[in-house]
């Protein structure tokens, strides 16, 4: 068994050895200018009922979200909790098990999202 090397902490290095970027700074940049995002910046969300490739079981599908991926995951989680069912977030779409279009439209409207229903 090898002995642990003491006194050689790497610290918070990110594993960067070499950079070809001429403007790269080795110091950590704490002043990230993350833009604030709001639901009004998002395009219209389209809701539809889908039964394809699911054995005839209905799934509420929310499409058209063009915001950050973290916001999409958070929105999917909130919608699933509001409906009390399971679901998933795949390929930029939110899938909610069952026909919950009315609940989803109402909740998205209260959050400030513009929605439209697709299909019948």
Each residue's pLDDT tens digit, 72-89: 999 999 999 999 999 999
The model's pTM: 0.67
- Check if the beta carbon of residue 94 is closer than 8 Å to that of residue 61: yes
CA-closest candidate to residue 89, choices 107, 69, 106: 69
Architecture of domain 39-117: 2-Layer Sandwich (3.30)
Q: Are strands 115-117 and 45-50 parallel, antiparallel or unpaired?
A: parallel
For the chain, what are the domain ranges? 39-117
pLDDT band at 110 (very low <50, low <70, confident <90, very high): very high
Measured between alpha carbons, how far is 39 from 85 in angstroms, rounded to an integer?
A: 23
């Amino acid at each position: 068994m090898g002995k642990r090397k003491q006194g050689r902490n790497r610290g918070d290095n990110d594993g960067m050895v070499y950079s070809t970027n001429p403007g790269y700074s080795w110091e950590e940049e704490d002043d990230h200018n993350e833009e604030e995002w709001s639901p009004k910046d998002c395009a219209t969300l389209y809701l539809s009922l889908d039964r394809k490739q699911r054995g005839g079981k209905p799934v509420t599908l929310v499409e058209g979200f063009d915001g950050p991926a973290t916001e999409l995951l958070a929105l999917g989680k909130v919608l699933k909790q509001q409906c009390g069912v399971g679901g998933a977030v795949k390929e930029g779409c939110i899938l909610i098990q069952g026909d919950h279009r009315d609940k989803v439209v109402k909740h998205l409207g209260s959050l400030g999202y513009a929605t439209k229903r697709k299909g019948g």
